[in-house]
Structure 1
Amino acid sequence: MTTDPYASDAGRLKAALARWLTDHGFADPATGATELLHMVRGHGWRVVEALQPPPEPRPTQDLPAEYLAVKAALTNRERTPE
């Protein structure tokens, strides 16, 4: 098991690099992609938090009834023209 929190992002980057190298006729795109990934990570590449998928929504049954009532009122209110 990997302890790298960015392993899936690194894998996607490596696959994208390998596709690009393949498209441009490199003899061994998988090895080239691995080397490029090591260089990029060695220079401080990290996943941008803003690009991460959003967290799973919380189930609403865990929320207090007062909160749900206020939320419903805000969601259903009519907007006034500005």
Structure 2
Amino acid sequence: MWQQVIVALIVVAALVHFCTKYLPAALRKQIVYLLSRRGFDQNKLAKLFNTKSSCGDGCASCGSCETTPAASSDASSSAPLKRVIMLRVQR
């Protein structure tokens, strides 16, 4: 009896680890949303599943609810920035 309980706990812990690390971000966000609707703390779940809290709670952490764009209008008219990848050569 105790062996089955211990094995079940190990399997549940492995499932939780898999869900928090290897699932795509969209599925992790859905899991956080569904569990938060069931009464669990959304901030703790978001931290556990490595996602941000959803914007539906009005926490203003993601900044997507802003009415003004974050970038200035003069920066958008300039040429696009070129990104340079620096390589370190080992000899």
Q: TM-score by structure 2 length? A: 0.26
Q: Which structure ranks higher in relative contact order (CA pairs < 8 Å, sequence separation ≥ 6)?
A: 1
TM-score, with structure 1 as normaliser: 0.28
Larger Rg: 1 or 2?
1
